[in-house]
Structure 1
């Protein structure tokens, strides 16, 4: 049974003249959404991974790639078997208003960072990441940077930057963080943070 193309204010109904119905069918657009380059493609994957994060503070997603292929992804959250942040599993998340926890003591935070999760996932499934690239939605922290370096990650790219001087304060720590960054062949921002909107994927697919 053929269905007449639906016009404004009209409902579709059986059509007894198929040729006429086809001739009146709306013309489909042949335009295609913009095709991202590889770096923005990986960034979109990291942003998609971030949607799985349950942190009540900052959600982060990361992807590890080599030779243009995805090896693993990760997002920040509590370890396997532990309650999620939204379930009270993270002491820091449950005490967001405690000034004593702001900007420090990340070494005793129960959550695993997105970059760490991506590295550990690759190891768990036997993926070699020596010489690989990591793309994160946020500039990796001091701890993740040294772990990426030790794991053999060669290139690091991220969307959202932050100021090490503001985060660490101590000039010696800022200098050490800079030294860590210098050991990577690439450690740079990619993309425009302004692209990170609640309707990111909808805007991208629509070509706006």
Structure 2
């Protein structure tokens, strides 16, 4: 039996269009998350520019070749519990799957728009302390890169990890109040040159996200090591320094390296992972 495609589509952008084209002839049914399921997630209710699910369904019926398109609500979702589900790799769909599709096979696919990495990645700063080729450091950086792919940011996706004895603290740059904010309102970073005014942003940076989570959970980062896919901006560098982190492993450069001086002043060792 062919799988079903289940999506939350507050807007119809090219990332979703590419996903729909890829699975148009590979799935039996397409379901759009309905209001009853969306309202389970309060942070999405205030997406004032989000299209109503019924409107999305009607648009897709005229612009795609899916033979079956329905709005999925609480009553209908129970019928999918033993079905092979394909869905977007997004927070809301992961939460829906965890709650309703525990017995189902679920495959997550990318849907967010991305800039080509070559347009946002820059070389590493020259003033780092050392280079690491260690297997463990490279594995942790790979984990950070996988976390980065969860970001909905279309310009830069960043992942951060702090390994603890019993678990890993992980975070990525995340738009607030929801990961769909830039699609509904636009991204102010579109009008700001790369590497400048990093504090003007609708997303919380991965490093701040991680440090805030640690503070919330009462976890001290004093003397800990941070692994981040992109060298921290100057604002994140200050937060890292004041959190007491003593090693910053990074996997790539940033358009601005103002944070180097701050980190070095607070005794943070800078390690480039190749």
- Could you say whether these structures have the same fold, taking a TM-score greater than 0.5 normalized by the shorter chain as the test? yes
Give matches, 1:1-208, under 5 Å. 37-66=135-164, 70-79=167-176, 81-82=177-178, 84-89=180-185, 91-93=187-189, 96=190, 98=191, 101-103=192-194, 104-162=196-254, 167=256, 174=258, 177-182=259-264, 183-191=266-274
Q: RMSD of the TM alignment (CA)? A: 2.3
Flag structure 2 segments of 5+ consecutive residues without an equivalent: 1-133
Quick check: 2:141–2:228 contact (8 Å CA) kept in 1?
yes
Distance 1:41 1:60 in 2: 16
Counterpart secondary structure, 1:108 = coil
Distance 2:185 2:244 in 1: 31
Against the structure 1 CA distance between its residues 188 and 83, is the aligned structure 2 distance closer, same or farther, given a 3 Å change threshold? closer
Q: Give CA-to-partner distance per residue, 1:146-171, whole Å, 9 cap, x none.
A: 101101111001111246xxx37xxx
CA shift, 1:109, in A, is 1.3
Q: Give CA-to-partner distance per residue, 1:51-96, whole Å, 9 cap, x none.
A: 11011110100101246x64411100213x3352452355325xx2
CA shift, 1:184, in A, is 3.2
Quick check: 1:90–1:110 contact (8 Å CA) kept in 2?
no
After alignment, is 127-136 or 58-67 more displaced? 58-67
CA shift, 1:37, in A, is 2.2
Quick check: 1:157–1:188 contact (8 Å CA) kept in 2?
yes
Distance 1:41 1:184 in 2: 25
Distance 2:142 2:169 in 1: 14
Quick check: 2:226–2:248 contact (8 Å CA) kept in 1?
yes
* Corresponding residue number in structure 2 for 1:6: none
Distance 1:83 1:60 in 2: 14
Counterpart secondary structure, 1:127 = coil
Distance 1:46 1:140 in 2: 14
Counterpart secondary structure, 1:160 = coil
Quick check: 2:141–2:227 contact (8 Å CA) kept in 1?
yes
Against the structure 1 CA distance between its residues 157 and 91, is the aligned structure 2 distance closer, same or farther, given a 3 Å change threshold? same
Distance 2:227 2:260 in 1: 18
Query: How many residue pairs align between the two structures?
Result: 139
Quick check: 1:90–1:111 contact (8 Å CA) kept in 2?
no
TM-score computed with the length of structure 1 as normaliser: 0.59
